[in-house]
Amino acid sequence: MTPLTTQQLAETARTYCFPNYGDRDLAIVSGKGCRVRDAEGNEYLDFLGGIAVNSLGHCHPAVVEAIRAQAAELIHCSNLYLIDPYVRLAERLCRETGMKKAFFCNSGTEATEAAMKLARRWAANTRGDGHATIIAFEGSFHGRTYGSMSATWNKKVREGFGTALSGVRFANFNDLESVDAAWGEDVCAVLVETVQGEGGVNPASHAFLTGLRERCSRADALLMIDEIQCGMGRCGYPFAYQGGHVQPDVVLAAKALGGGLPLGGVLAGEKACDVFQPGTHGSTFGGNPVACAAALAVCDIVFDPDFLEAVGEKGCHFWGGLGGLQREFPELIKTIRGLGLMIGMELTRPGAEIVKIARRHGLLINCTADKVLRFLPPLTVEQSDIDEAVEKLHAALKEFEAQANV
């Protein structure tokens, strides 16, 4: 295929692609480690990492090899048959989390859908009808299909699509009193992110997660933790909730799980691991052999304790650099928060313009919840890359301030 220029791609996309991703004017054509190149050959430091997907950077040799080897053996096979990488991955993730059984799908939103269905069916089996309510939280994001979007806080995601799924009740994040106020006999599950990603990089406090665990145990409801963005080593633990020693009943994974291939997973503990019987739930592509083989390669690397320790150290190093920027731009930078290599910098003003300027300086980041610059670099990032990113961000912030003062 003759490569197209960015301009050609942009024009064709404007004509033939749904406009739901806006008017894009950057065409990424290749990547290696934490750097990508555009169609004109310009290089960027990628500190967004496919929104927490490229945890091993771009085209990590172990992932490339796993994909190559599996693709040469078997690319797809129905789940009516046993698939080696699917079964191995289920075992691997269960061992890592203390969960009992796993189900694989293709994305985060499908993992959420499956978990919501699981909770409702479990409650119907154990307590009868009338226990279908799921508590979700202000600031949450769980996906864009009907069930998951109904559990997503941002109105933009939910509005204009007709009636949302009934039986989702929102409480305030990190606020147990609000959870108590939302609770009722009808609650079958609590769905919570350990670190809210789209909501602005908000970590759940240890007391909050422990409090949710206690309430779920007391009321016989499932604690379902969405680790789709913050899991798979991102926060310095295999899954971020493990930092707080809270044992959930259900864990959701996706994004980084498949090493860049579409893969989502639901892991369930003792209570709910046998709820889905034949005919109750399934997926044609879910747990595809190539995606699962890539995931096994990812697990081998990111669950290594030394690797996880290094993620924590790199996070501290990055935090230090961002702290220096906060001291230099106190009027602009309100706070820095996050865990491991999932870091948010809350600004006093909207951050979209800074994202654009940073890109001109060769740094890819994004802005979430309007005012939070979000950093999700590959976990394989080097300290020198982090220093370079901080320098580029420094230049972008200076330019932004200079523009604002004109």
Q: Which residues bind ligand PLP (CB under 6 A)?
A: 51, 107-109, 112, 141-143, 193, 197-198, 226, 228-229, 254
How far apart are the C-alpha atoms of 258 and 141, rounded to whole Å?
20
Q: Toward ligand PLP, which CB reaches closer, 149 or 390?
A: 149
- Does residue 250 sit in helix, strand or coil? strand
- Does residue 203 sit in helix, strand or coil? strand
Q: Toward ligand PLP, which CB reaches closer, 216 or 342?
A: 342
CB contact burial 43-76 (16+ within 10 A = b; e otherwise) = ebbbbbbbebbbbbbbebeebeebbeebeeeeee
Cα distances (Å, whole numbers) of residue 175 to 34, 96, 186, 336: 37, 29, 20, 21
Report in angstroms how near the CB of residue 199 gets to ligand PLP at its nearest.
9
Closest by Cα among 4, 207, 358 to 367? 358
Q: Toward ligand PLP, which CB reaches closer, 108 or 244?
A: 108
372-375: strand order across its sheet = 333-339, 342-347, 372-375, 366-368
Q: Toward ligand PLP, which CB reaches closer, 136 or 188?
A: 136
Terminal-to-terminal C-alpha distance of the chain: 46
Q: Toward ligand PLP, which CB reaches closer, 57 or 262?
A: 262
How far apart are the C-alpha atoms of 53 and 274, rounded to whole Å?
29
Report in angstroms how near the CB of residue 395 gets to ligand PLP at its nearest.
29
Q: Toward ligand PLP, which CB reaches closer, 39 or 109?
A: 109
Report in angstroms how near the CB of residue 252 gets to ligand PLP at its nearest.
7
Do the beta carbons of residue 87 and residue 76 sit within 8 Å?
A: no
Report in angstroms how near the CB of residue 339 gets to ligand PLP at its nearest.
14
Q: Toward ligand PLP, which CB reaches closer, 39 or 254?
A: 254
Report in angstroms how near the CB of residue 176 gets to ligand PLP at its nearest.
21
Report in angstroms how near the CB of residue 328 gets to ligand PLP at its nearest.
30
Report in angstroms how near the CB of residue 175 gets to ligand PLP at its nearest.
19
Report in angstroms how near the CB of residue 112 gets to ligand PLP at its nearest.
6
Report in angstroms how near the CB of residue 195 gets to ligand PLP at its nearest.
9
| Nearest-CB residue for ligand PLP | 108
Q: Toward ligand PLP, which CB reaches closer, 47 or 400?
A: 47
Q: Are strands 366-368 and 101-105 parallel, antiparallel or unpaired?
A: unpaired
Cα distances (Å, whole numbers) of residue 325 to 148, 330, 333, 354, 389: 37, 8, 8, 14, 12
Read out DSSP for 304-352? -HHHHHHHHHHHHHHHHHHHHHHHH-TTTEEEEEEETTEEEEEESS--H
How far apart are the C-alpha atoms of 326 and 103, rounded to whole Å?
43
Q: Toward ligand PLP, which CB reaches closer, 187 or 266?
A: 266
